Chains A and B, each alone.
Chain A
Amino acid sequence: MADLGRAALVVSLGLAVYATVAGAVAARANRRRLADSARNALIACFGSTAVASAVLVVALLRHDFTFTYVAAHTNRDLPALYTLSAFWGGQEGSLLLWLLVLSAYGALAVAVNRRLLRDLVAWVVPVIGGIATFFALVLVAVSSPFETQTRAVDGAGLTPSLQNPYMVAHPPLLYLGYVGLAVPFAFAAGALLAGRTDERWIVATRRWTLAAWAFLGVGQLLGAHWAYVEVGWGGYYAWDPVENAALMPWLAATAFLHSVMVQERKGMLKVWNMVLVALAFELSVFGTFLTRSGVVNSIHSFAKSPIGSWFLGFVVLSSLFSVALILWRLPLLRARTRLESALSREATFLYNNLLLVALCLTILWGVMFPILTEAVRGETRTMGRPYFDFFLRSFGLPLLLLMGIGPLVAWRRTSARTLARTLRWPIATALATGLLLVALGAGSSRAGLIAYTFSAFVLASIVVELVRGTRVTGSLFELVARNRRRYGGYVVHASVVLLAIGVAGSSAYASERDRKLSPGESVSVAGYTLAYRGLTTHPGANATEVRAVLDVSGRGDGTLRTGVNRYGAGDQPTSREVGIQTNWLRGEDLYVIADQIDKDGSVYFKVLVKPLVNLIWIAGFLFVGGALVALWPDAREQRRLATRLALARA
């Protein structure tokens, strides 16, 4: 069966090479039949990659330990769901998933746009083909999931902390995001190669970009929630290079989603948009390089493997290709109009973009700092949490403020007086909120207080905008239906506000206490009293569950269980299982870690009270809702699009 998988990958490689070469020749010589053939090769590449993927899935489900990959990442005791998730749990399988998603996206994108954007798609095919060629080549020549060995009795299994439903969904969602950014990149490169630098490529890829960006955002939130409930340190984001690898392309894509609106409306920022879409794609590949090369020290102990240099080579080559293309087509990328005023909607988009890119690049600097200091000073130095937190506050808080100002500023220009009048309600709301919070004692954290005040400002500006719009249309539903993209965007803004409130509350106003308790003893933290009743032991699905039982009183009530899962005896792995009691009304968590369980039944508890932390997870649902509203098919928009494309053709 491994032979079938290997053969399917070789076919994928051949088809991707053909799509690249034949596609480029066809586009250059304007040979229509050859272009159709290249496009069909790209679609067929998806088919052969799907066959290879099916072979791996069958091998995993049949526990075929003649596959080295299956033996290294699963064992017979592993539940079926986690056995299936081992598909992307190892290096070779995750690369196969990259190629599968890329070829699926590529096939769909060119099939959907083949008639409307024929001249552009002719160049998109070789670009996607080129990216697919790289991944297929790595899979065939360097890192194949179809290596075989003498059949093993059992496999190595999966790390206990990864045996979590979040880990089933988190990696593929990130891949859908990472790989999805290849589509707008390919259309941008296709537009440059074809010399068609009007807005058509942006309009055609808007939903692709939005979907990739939403997948990346949701994937990161799921990862954060996994860290919170499973890793057991009480946090959800550690600024680890691997976490940052997903955040950076997301920030670049966020900037791109905003700046394309300026290009669509005003014909400005054409070069900037090309740079942003290339940056987002390069960062997504760079993230894959970071996670595979072991070049940066990370808590995710990614082994140094030969594919690190392959990815670095690909990032360098594709970056040079992008820069060369943009420089070549610079004369075609001149703006139709100019920025008329620093107080205009387009200017606020520009400020927003600069802050997002600045945040992205400072994170990149922090990630690369150890490599740079090693090269320059001969000593490796790392940037810690204070560095990243500082820049998150420095760029994040002004970004939050801009989210409230931008939507209320007119296009072209506005006066300071008009702006002040428009913003009077949001400003009044923010000031009242700030004063109220100071009176309630929230002034202990300046950053927290600013974040809450700005959040109130943004929420008030969204409400003002909705009230203003509803007065015109007569109903909120009609208002949203008229411009789903805009109002979906506002819902996403509201989710970012909730996220900011949750992050500020759970980090700036959290309480923590460590205490060793014997049965019958209790501890009090931030109004909660926890009385330790004793230990219980139960056999679980594939582990023995040891739990400390605590009675909660005071601000909460009920029983809370925390402890460890022991997978086998002796030196076998254990995983800490945190106890969390949620108060949805306050959005607060009582979070208890059984840090150390002693033989006499006493336990070292770490107790944390995290105000408003649940707003972060609620923000995730709102984020998805907003993205769906913006993505939903819109007949009015389709008509606008058709008119715009007709104008562009003319």
Chain B
Amino acid sequence: MARSTRSPARLVIALSVAAVLAVFLLYTSIAGGSKAQVTPSTLAGHSGDVSLTGKVVGRPHGDAHSARGLRFHMRDIKGGSETSVAVAFRGTVPDLFKSGRDVVVEGQLRNGVFEANSLVTKCPSKYAPATSNQT
């Protein structure tokens, strides 16, 4: 008798949470969707699509709308490694792209060249701390 008058709230919550978790786990473990995030010095050994973060070094050349694409090199943002990766990109080049900028490219390494299908230039920070000759 007592059982029939109990609120179904807990059951509803438990079932809903379980359903949500089931969908979530199925998606993340089977369908995947994540991408390895690497730097030029850790790119070696990654064969699939990856997200490569680094600093543009040297002078970019080529045409982003030609078959060869825009060509440039990337190094680790933090420094400490001399590893440089050659990148080829076809598509829309962001306004702020230039040598010295931090960028994120997505694509994969083929024959020693990282073929990027997306290029994002990091927005120079609004929230970077001001640096100068402080007194």
- A residues lining the B interface (CB < 8 Å): 68-69, 71-73, 89-92, 94, 143, 145, 147-150, 152, 159-162, 171, 232-233, 291-292, 297-303, 305, 307, 338-342, 347, 350-351, 354, 358, 362, 365, 369-370, 373, 379-384, 386-387, 390-391, 394-395, 516, 564, 571, 573-576, 593, 595-596, 604, 606
Q: Which residues of A contact B104 (CB under 8 A)?
A: 297, 299
Nearest chain B residue, comparing its CB with the CB of A143? B129
Q: What's the minimum C-beta distance from A59 to chain B, rounded to whole angstroms?
A: 12
From B95, B120, B125, contact of A232 by CB (8 A): B95
Over the window 89-102 of chain B, the binary record of Cβ atoms lying under 8 Å from chain A Cβ atoms (1 yes, 0 no) is: 00011011010001
Over the window 30-74 of chain B, the binary record of Cβ atoms lying under 8 Å from chain A Cβ atoms (1 yes, 0 no) is: 010111111000000000000101000000000111000000000
Q: Which residues of B contact A69 (CB under 8 A)?
A: 130
Q: Which residues of A contact B121 (CB under 8 A)?
A: 299
Nearest chain B residue, comparing its CB with the CB of A67? B130
Nearest chain B residue, comparing its CB with the CB of A232? B95
Chain B interface residue count: which class?
35 or more
Over the window 109-124 of chain B, the binary record of Cβ atoms lying under 8 Å from chain A Cβ atoms (1 yes, 0 no) is: 0000000000011111
The docked-state distance in angstroms from the alpha carbon of A141 to that of B131 is 16
From B28, B35, B64, B131, contact of A382 by CB (8 A): B35
Q: Which residues of B contact A307 (CB under 8 A)?
A: 129
Interface of A is mostly: mixed
Nearest chain B residue, comparing its CB with the CB of A142? B129
Query: Do B24 and A381 have beta carbons less than 8 Å apart?
Result: no
When A148-B134, A149-B134 are in contact, do A299 and B36 touch as well, CB less than 8 Å? no
Query: Do B120 and A379 have beta carbons less than 8 Å apart?
Result: no
Over the window 1-19 of chain B, the binary record of Cβ atoms lying under 8 Å from chain A Cβ atoms (1 yes, 0 no) is: 0000001110011001100
CB < 8 Å A-B pair total: 162
When A299-B104, A350-B13, A381-B35 are in contact, do A90 and B128 touch as well, CB less than 8 Å? yes
Q: Which residues of B contact A68 (CB under 8 A)?
A: 130-134
Asked if B81 is an interface residue, CB under 8 A from chain A, the answer is no
- B residues lining the A interface (CB < 8 Å): 7-9, 12-13, 16-17, 20, 23-24, 27-28, 31, 33-38, 51, 53, 63-65, 92-93, 95-96, 98, 102, 104, 120-135
Q: Which residues of A contact B17 (CB under 8 A)?
A: 354
- Output the residue of B9, B12, B133 with the most chain A CB within 10 A: B9
Query: Do B51 and A382 have beta carbons less than 8 Å apart?
Result: yes
The docked-state distance in angstroms from the alpha carbon of A349 to that of B98 is 51
Q: Which residues of B contact A595 (CB under 8 A)?
A: 65, 92-93
Q: What's the minimum C-beta distance from A342 to chain B, rounded to whole angstroms?
A: 5
When A573-B95, A604-B65 are in contact, do A301 and B134 touch as well, CB less than 8 Å? no
Query: Do B12 and A159 have beta carbons less than 8 Å apart?
Result: no
9 cross-chain CB contacts under 8 A = A68-B131, A91-B126, A147-B134, A149-B132, A291-B127, A301-B122, A301-B128, A387-B28, A595-B92
When A370-B37, A387-B34 are in contact, do A90 and B16 touch as well, CB less than 8 Å? no
Nearest chain A residue, comparing its CB with the CB of B128? A303
- Output the residue of B27, B128, B134 with the most chain A CB within 10 A: B128
Q: Which residues of A contact B9 (CB under 8 A)?
A: 338-339, 347, 350
The docked-state distance in angstroms from the alpha carbon of A583 to that of B9 is 48
Q: Which residues of A contact B92 (CB under 8 A)?
A: 233, 593, 595, 606
Q: Which residues of B contact A571 (CB under 8 A)?
A: 98
Nearest chain B residue, comparing its CB with the CB of A379? B36
Q: What's the minimum C-beta distance from A499 to chain B, rounded to whole angstroms?
A: 23
The docked-state distance in angstroms from the alpha carbon of A548 to that of B133 is 43
Q: What's the minimum C-beta distance from B73 to chain A, rounded to whole angstroms?
A: 18
The docked-state distance in angstroms from the alpha carbon of A342 to that of B6 is 12
Q: Which residues of B contact A298 (CB under 8 A)?
A: 122
The docked-state distance in angstroms from the alpha carbon of A391 to that of B51 is 22
The docked-state distance in angstroms from the alpha carbon of A384 to that of B63 is 27
When A89-B126, A91-B127, A386-B33 are in contact, do A362 and B24 touch as well, CB less than 8 Å? yes
The docked-state distance in angstroms from the alpha carbon of A301 to that of B95 is 15
Query: Do B129 and A369 have beta carbons less than 8 Å apart?
Result: no
